[in-house]
Amino acid sequence: MSYNDLRKGRFFESGQEYLITTITHQRTPLFNSFLCSRVLVKALRDSEQRHDCQWLCWVIMPDHFHELLRLNNSPPDDLSTVMKFVKGQSGRMINHHLGRSGSLWQTGFHDHALRKEEDRLNIARYIVANPLRAGLVERIADWPHWDSVYL
């Protein structure tokens, strides 16, 4: 199945929330760097202004990040457009900082549109607990690269 096949049938609506996972190219652990992580956070914040969306919860791991996003505007910007902006801006800035070129992110991303009955608080807890499950920290407060409107 190709990337374009994965995009077929995607529908976006105002107020819809999506659980998203995005992975670095060849799972390169670029976000072990504090500065690279902060560049990604800036891209997330910039996308909120540009695309009228809200990052409800996110965690940046060494080679990927998980996020919960709400599309606010009506009609909403395409989820792919928001992700292209975040990946493009962060990729350009991180490549410039590291003096490198080429792909920073794998093509595409995984998304799941949340249903009304899905518990947002439990999903947020799952997202921010990723560093704990990966054995990177003993307490989530020790991991600097996460945020959540729920916690």
Tens digit of each residue's pLDDT (9 = 90 or more) over 78-90: 899 999 999 999 9
Q: Is the pLDDT of residue 74 over 70?
A: no
Smallest Cα–Cα separation from 61: which of 146, 148, 151, 149?
A: 146
CATH number assigned to the domain comprising residue 125: 3.30.70.1290
By the 8 A CB rule, do 53 and 82 touch? Answer: yes
Q: Hey, what are 42's tokens? A: 């800036």
What is the predicted pLDDT for the residue at 11? Answer: 59
Q: Does residue 6 sit within a domain?
A: no
Mean per-residue pLDDT, 65-80: 86
Q: Is the pLDDT of residue 6 over 70?
A: no
Domain coverage including residue 55:
13-148
From residue 65, alpha-carbon distances to 9, 27, 37 in Å are: 24, 11, 10
Residues 6+ apart with CB under 8 A from 8: none
Q: Does residue 136 sit within a domain?
A: yes
Domain count, the chain: 1
Q: Does residue 2 sit within a domain?
A: no
Helix H or strand E encompassing 96: helix 79-98
CA distance 38 to 44: 10
What SS3 class is residue 12? coil
Q: Does residue 47 sit within a domain?
A: yes
Q: Does residue 84 sit within a domain?
A: yes
Peptide bond into 131 cis (omega under 30): no
Q: Does residue 7 sit within a domain?
A: no
CA distance 120 to 139: 21
Q: Does residue 1 sit within a domain?
A: no
Q: Does residue 112 sit within a domain?
A: yes
Residue matched to tokens 């991303």: 109
